[in-house]
Amino acid sequence: MRLGVLDVGSNTVHLLVVDAHRGAAPLPAYSHKADLRLAEHLAKDGKIASSGADGLLSFVKEASVLAEDKGCESVLAFATSALREAPNGLAVLDRVRQETDVDLQVLTGEDEARLTFLAVRRWFGWSSGRLAVFDIGGGSLEIAAGSDEEPTVAVSVPLGAGRLTREALTSDPPDKDEVRALRKRIRMEMAAVAGRVLRAGKPQRSVATSKTFRSLARICGAAPSDEGPYVPRGLDRDDLAQWMPKLTKMSTAERAELPGVSAGRASQLLAGALVADAVMDLFDLPSLEVCPWALREGVILSRLDQLQPR
């Protein structure tokens, strides 16, 4: 069957069309996305401004037409932290539903962690044993760990690369005192949940997903994306440690020149690197493997699991 997945994130809105059936890997057939940066369209009271709501509505309308054109039987539409946390998030969702007939389901942070974990488990398989999975989004960091397809622990922490950049890094290049304060904040908030994850047991495989981790792995020497998803990629703690002093001194424009770093994500790279560095330090991980599957694939796989076999 052909499915569409409409992912409304804090940074990007993305329509992914896949050919999928139970027992097989979803095969991407078409992709369309835009850097809407919904979390940056916020008023002082935290509400999504009309510019953000209008941009979201426009993309959903466009995505609905494209999904129909590509022959999708259905579209799985979901939203994450930007709409979840906005005081007027429900009103924006109602407007989208009324004007497009698309029902965006808002995932909890724990849902995001759980579904991402499912995708990683299916990608690497049962031989991986106990998994720990880390996903840096625009608004939050998701962490999940366990030995089954359902994680033993799934948590969400407000340590997204976009959020931290907006809230804590005001100059470009960043002020060293702001960087120091942000590093302290990240480690304190992560340490508050680390015990829950560590009690699930030492992972036999530690995995990272998300654009932020992929970009960091690329600048540390991982294979470029055009070599395909089956090339093993990873991020070493020592390699990232060597890059940290350089990243703290770079401007956004300079970071955008790095391999694997898009102009739209360059401003968030330092905050994301600080989170990644804290992950590997606090959880005592010398390296992280990078998985090409993440939340979108988890949503697809979960939907397929609910279908009756033919």
The residues, ordered by sequence, that sit 6+ positions from 275 with a Cβ below 8 Å of its Cβ are: 136, 141, 159, 161, 164, 186, 190, 212
CB 246 within 8 A of CB 193: no
- Rounded to 5°, angle at Cα 212 from 42 and 240: 130
pLDDT given at position 309: 60
Candidates 180, 176, 177; CA nearest to 188 is: 180
Q: Which amino acid is located at 168 in the chain?
A: A
Q: What is the sign of the dihedral through the CA atoms of 235, 238, 240 and 243? A: negative
Q: 16: helix, coil or strand? A: strand
Looking up tokens 């052909």 gives: 2
Environment class of residue 171 by beta-carbon count within 10 Å: exposed (0-12), middle (13-18) or buried (19+)?
exposed
Q: In sequence order, what E strands does 258-303 have?
A: 287-290
CB 42 within 8 A of CB 13: no
Is the N-terminal amide bond of 173 cis, ω within 30° of 0? Answer: yes
pLDDT given at position 23: 85
pLDDT given at position 308: 56
Taking residue 201's Cβ as centre, other Cβ atoms within 10 Å add up to 14
pTM comes to 0.94
pLDDT given at position 44: 81
Length of the chain: 310
Buried b (16+ CB within 10 A) or exposed e, 279-293: bbebbebebbbbbbb
pLDDT given at position 248: 96
pLDDT given at position 8: 94
C-alpha 63/C-alpha 30 separation (Å) is: 11
pLDDT given at position 37: 87
Tokens in use for 263?
A: 């102009």
CB 36 within 8 A of CB 82: no
The residues, ordered by sequence, that sit 6+ positions from 106 with a Cβ below 8 Å of its Cβ are: 78, 79, 80, 83, 84, 89, 93
Q: Which amino acid is located at 124 in the chain?
A: F
Q: Compute CA distances 202 → 40, 109, 205, 248, whole Å.
A: 37, 23, 9, 31
pLDDT tens, the chain, 310 aa long: 899 999 999 889 999 999 988 888 899 999 999 999 888 888 888 899 999 999 999 999 999 999 999 999 999 999 998 899 999 999 999 999 999 999 999 999 999 999 999 999 999 999 999 999 999 999 999 999 999 999 999 999 999 999 999 999 999 999 999 999 999 999 999 999 999 999 888 999 999 999 999 999 999 999 999 999 999 999 999 999 999 999 999 999 999 999 999 988 999 999 999 999 999 999 999 999 999 999 999 999 999 988 756 5
- Give the strand pairing for 287-290 and 153-157: unpaired
